[in-house]
């Protein structure tokens, strides 16, 4: 799977292994020969240079719509358990999540338009994104966006990161989310969403100053909708003893608790003489 920028828009192109074949939307065409699927791009978006094992003449592609060139989130992700590819598309009254079969491009299911929070800055790079998490033996597609809820002439509203959770093996059209989760935030923070450890991790903070892992984070259980805020990761590193463990970061969230990493000169000198990442699993429990 390959995602590339095209004149301010994004396009998703999937090529097949040589010898395989497939049509972008199951081969259904109208009387004029054009695909009935409105999201299908009839003409190839571009020629690709691919390894010899792949056939650039097979596979499928589709336009993902207009996305700012500096967008922080790419609106597409693989859904391995469902054998699909999830993407989000702008709609007249929100954003639609679409999951396609990875081999043919056929739409497996699509959501009802989801109304995202109102962006606080029209020039912001914090565009909606999508990720996948496997929790308790089931796969979920999670669409997320940052902005303000409940703002009107009398109220300033609340800044949030909003998550819409869908079952990856959904069916049909106009699928509604299993739940929507709003996480309160302060100010216009950069947001990084990941799902590597069995829980969704929403990192908050300026990554220019904080590095790859922001200083604060939420761990989210998409099954229950519950979230845990980690505003002071250093407090989770009591195992450090007398060592200087300032600057801790929650790297990923697991069912057993957060994985916290810290780079310290004291440990680095003892370990290798250079900066060393010391990661420790922290049991679940209250966090500050």
- For the chain, how many residues are written? 288
CA dihedral 202→229→219→10, nearest 10 degrees, is -10
Q: Both 97 and 238 in a single domain?
A: no
Question: Do both 223 and 88 map to the same domain?
Answer: yes
pLDDT (0 to 100) of residue 267: 42
Regions of the chain with pLDDT less than 50: 1-9, 19-42, 266-277, 288
- Do 249 and 230 touch, CB atoms closer than 8 A? no
Q: Are residues 155 and 262 in the same domain?
A: no
Where in the sequence is the domain holding 266, given as residue range(s)?
232-288
Same domain, 86 and 224: yes
pLDDT of residue 225: 96
- CATH number of the domain to which 60 belongs: 2.40.128.630
Q: Do 42 and 151 sit in the same domain of this protein?
A: yes
Residues 31, 173 within the same domain:
yes
Number of H helices, E strands in the chain: 2, 19
Rounded Cα distance between 236 and 232, Å, is: 8
Same domain, 126 and 142: yes
Nearest-angstrom CA–CA distance, 198 and 217: 15
Q: How many folded domains does the chain comprise?
A: 2
* 38 and 49 housed in the same domain: yes
């Amino acid at each position: 799977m390959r995602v590339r920028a095209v004149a301010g828009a994004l396009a998703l192109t999937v090529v097949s292994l040589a010898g395989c074949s497939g049509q972008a939307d199951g081969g259904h065409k109208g009387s004029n020969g054009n695909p009935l699927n409105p999201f299908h791009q009839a003409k190839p978006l571009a020629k690709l240079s691919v390894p010899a094992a792949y056939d650039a003449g097979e596979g499928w592609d589709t336009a993902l719509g207009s996305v700012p060139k500096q967008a922080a989130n790419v609106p597409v992700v693989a859904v391995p358990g469902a054998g699909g590819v999830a993407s989000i598309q702008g709609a007249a009254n929100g954003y639609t999540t679409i999951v396609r079969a990875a081999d043919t491009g056929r739409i497996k299911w699509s959501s009802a338009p989801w109304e995202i929070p109102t962006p606080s800055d029209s020039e912001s790079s914090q565009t909606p994104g999508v990720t996948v998490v496997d929790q308790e033996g089931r796969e979920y597609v999670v669409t997320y966006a940052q902005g303000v809820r409940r703002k009107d002439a009398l109220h300033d509203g609340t800044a949030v990161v909003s998550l819409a959770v869908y079952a990856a093996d959904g069916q049909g059209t106009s699928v509604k989310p299993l739940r929507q989760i709003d996480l309160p935030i302060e100010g216009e923070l950069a947001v990084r969403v990941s799902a590597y450890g069995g829980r969704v991790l929403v990192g908050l903070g300026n990554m220019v100053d904080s590095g790859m892992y922001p200083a604060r984070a939420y761990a989210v259980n998409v099954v229950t909708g519950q979230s845990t805020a980690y505003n002071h990761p250093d407090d989770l590193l009591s195992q450090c003893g007398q060592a200087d463990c300032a600057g801790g970061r929650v790297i990923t969230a697991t069912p057993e608790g957060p994985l916290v990493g810290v780079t310290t000169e004291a440990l680095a000198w003892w370990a290798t003489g250079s900066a060393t990442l010391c990661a420790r699993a922290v049991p679940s429990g209250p966090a500050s």
